Every structure is written in structure tokens, then in C-alpha cells.
């Protein structure tokens, strides 16, 4: 069984622009490659078949247009096809975080109250099925390139609130405070995500012979939607992976020879440690990264070894995408003078630094809280939890997070200062610092350290001595933990909650 034949409506047909873009994508033929998965290419004809299968099951389950459909969207070809099909047929979509326990998924189902859930067989469990049955929620599981009802979860009897206009809801990453549900309208996605990513190509251009994109961010968060969904809908073939691995990315570079390289911040040190030959990157003109700061020492060594610029991008879900930009022209003009900057305000955005207490705007060079006006979202200033400064030339430098600050007996300590200092020790490859509860001082720093395997393990006293020349005495960690790897989120940022848990039993 398949669903209704997906077709691209014309202007005035009632379809949004994003629905039309998605439907046009699904109408590409068997000779148009969509996604490479585990060494095999999947065509758009195959993508359309699974998309119509999922939308057909929703129709059969009695899920009407406008009803919210929750997704647990692993990076799988079938799940991507299902997502495109849901967009083409105008369903509102609520993303559920993939990398969590079954109990966490159940809590999200209860919180979101969808009419249906689309998941992969890897995330279907007895606990999830029971939650669907109790809520009378239609359940659909995608397995490979097929989909079926979750047993006893076919008819929709759930109580839900219809969406007046189709949208996609994702969780924020915490740039402006505690993560929360954030709504992206189909209009915003079409204009500011698909459109912004099409600046170098004409509309409707055949891109099947372009170097494929490398898709590793989860589709369920903003970065995944912004980069992955935009590439796929525009017709850029893509290599899809479950999550980033250095081996997979290196293989992609050698086989497809992209002209630029997008990397998560943690990959910079991975590449250096693997000692990948510079000639392997001959096709790449520059690298980009984002989502978290790059260790300055690793950044410098990366550019020295590979003689190519590494640009950091600053953006957030709450901004609707990136709000700064660094270009090759800027990089060459300043010749290292702006090292560590995420660039200048771009994409029509405005940025300023304000005093955390008074909210007053601060002059160039002063550190404070970063605020942003993003025209994609609206005309108001958005207060972030990011500390930074903007120099006299308009370049933005990030200085950690205000909400991660440690208050030690009246002294405010910024974890990034200690982390950066620790990473200058030759034996340290990565470090994470967090506040540990202390009955006398309120909080004291705790440091989790990842060591380079080729170095002997240093004594804590040696690390303390190293730090004393770089940070204030109040910044010296009281608690230490040597770990094989720092805990990270699905976005490869350091997981601050998990980091704090390493020191829960500290005295």
C-alpha cells in the first residue's frame, strides 16, 4: 500500500512553498541519486516510494492534515524520506531527541501530545508502544526502506491541537537559556534555510553531478535541518552517516573530493591526532565548524599543518541560523590578527555586547553578554547566555557561557578559561570544567581531563603548577577526573549535565 500520489501544486493551490519544494524533490526520477547510505546510492524514485508509504499509513490511521506528527528521526534513509513526505503533504512535525532512553521518549510523547509518531525500528520498544496505545496515538515504524504500523497502534483517537499552518518544532540547544521547544514555520524554512543555502546556484538547477554533501548532524535538531534538509531538497546528492566518525569523513573526502569541509569542533583534534596527510585535503579550499568553540592550540596547529583556513560560525535555533560570517577575503586581509573570531555580523543580523547586570550596551572591546537581532525571527534583541566581545573592527569573539560560570566564595570563574589553559599542557588533549558543590564556598571547579596516549600520565600537582602560571589562584580545580573522552551531546558539544555527574560524589 502507498499513500496518495505526491504532486507539486502550483501557486495558489493552497500548498506552501516548502511543500512544493519537497514534492518537486520527490518527483525526481530513478536516474537522480538522492542519498548514499553504507556504500549504496538510493534514488529519488525509491525515496518517493517510502514517503508515500508513510503518508498512506497516516491516512489509513485517520491522521488528518494539520494534525501534529512526532518523529524520532535517526539518520536513516527511510526516515529522511518519511520526513520529506510529511513536509510535502503539509503535516506539522514535532522532533523528539533521538539519543535518549525509552523513558525519555515516552516523556516527550506525553509532553508533545501528537496524533501520530513516526520512528525507526531501532527506537521502537515495548515502553514506547505502550505509551502510544494509552494515548490512542497512531504509531508508524520505518525499517530500512519500508514502513508499517506499530502493532495495536493503528487508528488515531488521540486528543491533539491542530496547527493552523504547517511547521516543524525542535528543541533549542540552550543559547538563550534552558532548552525549549522552538517553532520553525514552513515559510521560514523555505525562505531562510533552503533559500540561504541556494545562493551559489540557480533555482531548479540540476545538481546531481555536484560533489555530494556529507550529512552527519541529526535531522531532529536545527543544525541537521539547516544543513541536511536544505541540501537534500535542493537536489544536492548526499552521503548520509549515522553520526560523525573520522574514518567515514576521511573516506568521503578521498572519494568525492569536496571543495570545502564542514566539521564538528571535536573533529579538529581528531584529524591532528590521526596525522592525515595534507595532500588528502587538496580539493578543499577552507574548513568550517560551529556549535562549540575550538581549542585555540588545536586551531593554530590545524591551520599551520594544512595551510588552509578554519572558520568558526556562530548561530542558534533561536536566530533561525547563522548570524556571523568569516570569508576568505577577511582571513587573507587580517593575516591572523582576528584569530579565534567567529567573524562579523552577517545574514542581515545585528549583534551587540551588554552588561549582564544593567543590560546597557558596552563599547568595543568590553566583555559581556551577547545579544542578537535576527531579521529571520523578528525585530527584537535576543538575549543569549554567551559571553563575548566585539572589537573595533566588528569582529565577534566568544568567551564561554555566562550560565556555566562558577561562583567560588564570591569569585566568578569561567570554565573555558581553565579548559583552554589545561589544553596548552602537552599531555592534555581535551578538558572539561564544571562547578562542584562545596559546603564552604558554594562551588569549586572540577576538571575532567583527556590525556594524549603517547604521554605519561601527569601528576595532579604538575597540572596545578601548569595552571598557576595561566589562571588565577581561585581558578585552580579542587577535583580532578581522568577520562577516556568527554561526555558529549548529539551535537558533539560537551554535555555539561553529564560532566557535573562525574563529580556528584565529590567530598
**CATH number given to 17-193:** 3.40.50.980
Helix axes 415-422, 460-468, angle to 10 degrees: 110
Rounded to whole angstroms, the Cα distance separating 245 from 216 reads 9
Rounded to whole angstroms, the Cα distance separating 237 from 332 reads 31
Q: Is this structure's pTM higher than 0.85?
A: no
What Cα–Cα distance (Å) separates residue 272 from each residue in 27, 269, 303, 312, 460?
A: 43, 5, 10, 17, 26
User: Strands 350-354 and 368-373: what pairing?
Assistant: antiparallel
Pick the CATH number of 405-501 from 3.30.930.10, 3.30.300.30, 3.10.110.10, 3.40.47.10: 3.30.300.30
Short-list 103, 86, 107, CA closest to 22:
86
Give 183's strand partners: 169
| One pLDDT digit (tens) per residue for the chain, 507 residues | 455 556 655 544 578 999 999 999 999 989 999 999 999 999 999 999 999 999 999 999 999 887 899 999 999 999 999 999 999 999 999 999 887 778 888 989 999 999 999 999 999 999 999 999 999 999 999 999 999 999 999 998 888 888 889 999 998 776 776 668 899 999 999 988 887 654 444 555 677 888 899 999 888 888 888 888 989 999 999 999 998 999 999 999 999 999 999 998 878 988 999 999 999 999 999 999 987 777 788 899 999 999 999 999 899 889 999 999 888 999 999 988 999 899 999 989 999 999 998 999 999 999 999 999 999 999 999 999 889 999 999 999 998 777 777 878 767 788 888 999 999 999 999 999 999 988 777 789 999 999 998 889 999 999 999 998 888 888 999 999 999 999 988 667 788 888 988 998 765
Q: Where are the domains of the chain?
A: 17-193, 264-313, 314-402, 405-501
**223 in Cβ contact with 250 (< 8 Å):** no
Burial 417-431 (b: 16+ CB within 10 A, else e): bbbbbbbebebbbbb
* Intrachain domains 17-193 and 405-501 with the same fold: no
What Cα–Cα distance (Å) separates residue 491 from each residue in 284, 293, 311?
A: 23, 13, 18
Q: Domain 314-402: what homologous superfamily?
A: Luciferase; Domain 3 (2.30.38.10)
**35 in Cβ contact with 80 (< 8 Å):** yes
Rounded to whole angstroms, the Cα distance separating 343 from 328 reads 11
Short-list 380, 376, 381, 358, CA closest to 368:
358
List phi, psi (to 5°) of 294.
-100, 135
Amino acid at each position: 500500500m502507498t499513500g496518495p500520489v505526491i504532486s507539486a501544486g502550483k501557486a495558489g493551490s493552497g500548498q506552501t512553498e516548502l511543500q512544493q519544494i519537497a514534492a518537486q524533490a520527490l518527483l525526481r526520477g530513478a536516474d537522480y541519486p538522492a542519498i548514499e547510505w553504507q556504500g549504496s546510492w538510493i534514488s529519488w524514485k525509491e525515496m518517493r516510494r517510502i514517503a508515500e508509504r508513510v503518508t498512506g499509513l497516516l491516512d489509513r490511521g485517520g491522521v488528518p492534515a494539520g494534525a501534529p506528527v512526532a518523529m524520532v528521526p535517526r539518520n536513516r534513509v527511510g526516515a529522511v524520506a518519511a520526513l520529506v513526505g510529511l513536509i510535502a503533504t503539509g503535516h506539522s512535525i514535532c522532533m523528539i531527541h533521538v539519543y535518549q532512553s525509552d523513558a525519555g521518549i515516552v516523556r516527550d510523547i506525553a509532553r508533545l501530545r501528537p496524533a501520530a509518531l513516526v520512528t525507526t525500528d531501532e527506537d521502537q520498544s515495548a515502553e514506547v508502544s505502550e505509551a502510544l496505545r494509552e494515548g490512542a496515538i497512531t504509531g508508524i515504524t520505518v525499517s530500512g526502506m519500508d514502513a508499517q504500523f506499530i502493532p495495536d497502534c493503528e487508528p488515531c483517537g488521540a486528543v491533539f491541537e491542530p496547527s493552523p499552518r504547517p511547521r516543524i518544532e525542535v528543541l533549542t540547544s540552550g543559547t538563550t537559556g534552558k532548552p525549549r521547544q522552538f517553532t520553525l514555520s514552513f515559510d521560514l524554512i523555505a525562505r531562510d534555510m533552503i533559500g540561504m543555502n541556494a545562493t551559489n546556484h540557480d533555482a531548479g538547477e540540476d545538481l546531481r553531478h555536484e560533489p555530494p554533501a556529507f550529512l552527519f548532524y541529526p535531522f531532529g535538531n536545527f543544525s541537521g535541518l539547516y544543513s541536511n534538509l536544505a541540501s537534500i531538497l535542493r537536489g544536492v546528492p548526499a552521503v548520509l552517516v549515522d553520526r560523525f566518525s573520522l574514518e567515514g569523513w576521511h573516506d568521503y573526502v578521498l572519494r568525492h573530493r569536496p571543495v570545502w569541509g564542514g566539521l564538528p569542533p571535536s573533529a579538529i583534534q581528531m584529524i591532528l591526532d590521526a596525522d592525515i596527510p595534507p595532500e588528502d585535503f587538496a580539493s578543499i579550499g577552507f574548513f568550517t565548524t560551529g556549535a562549540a568553540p575550538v581549542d585555540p592550540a588545536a586551531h593554530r596547529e590545524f591551520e599551520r599543518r594544512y595551510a588552509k583556513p578554519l572558520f568558526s560560525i556562530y548561530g542558534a535555533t533561536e536566530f533561525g541560523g547563522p548570524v556571523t560570517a568569516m570569508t576568505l577575503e577577511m582571513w587573507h586581509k587580517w593575516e591572523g590578527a582576528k584569530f579565534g573570531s567567529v567573524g562579523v555580523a552577517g545574514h542581515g543580523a545585528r549583534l551587540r555586547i551588554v552588561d549582564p547586570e544593567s543590560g546597557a550596551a558596552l563599547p568595543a572591546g568590553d566583555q559581556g553578554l551577547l545579544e542578537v537581532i535576527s531579521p529571520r525571527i523578528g525585530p527584537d534583541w535576543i538575549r543569549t547566555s554567551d559571553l563575548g566581545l566585539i572589537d573595533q573592527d566588528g569582529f565577534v569573539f566568544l568567551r564561554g557561557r555566562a550560565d556555566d560560570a562558577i561562583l567560588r566564595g564570591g569569585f566568578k570563574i569561567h570554565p573555558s578559561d581553565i579548559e583552554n589553559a589545561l589544553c596548552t599542557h602537552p599531555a592534555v588533549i581535551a578538558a572539561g570544567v564544571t562547578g562542584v558543590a562545596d559546603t564552604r564556598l558554594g562551588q569549586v571547579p572540577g576538571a575532567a581531563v583527556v590525556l594524549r596516549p603517547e604521554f605519561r600520565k601527569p601528576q595532579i600537582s604538575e597540572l596545578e603548577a601548569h595552571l598557576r602560571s595561566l589562571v588565577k589562584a581561585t581558578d585552580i580545580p579542587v577535583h580532578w577526573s581522568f577520562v577516556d573522552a568527554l561526555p558529549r551531546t548529539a551535537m558533539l558539544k560537551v554535555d555539561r549535565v553529564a560532566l557535573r555527574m562525574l563529580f556528584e560524589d565529590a567530598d
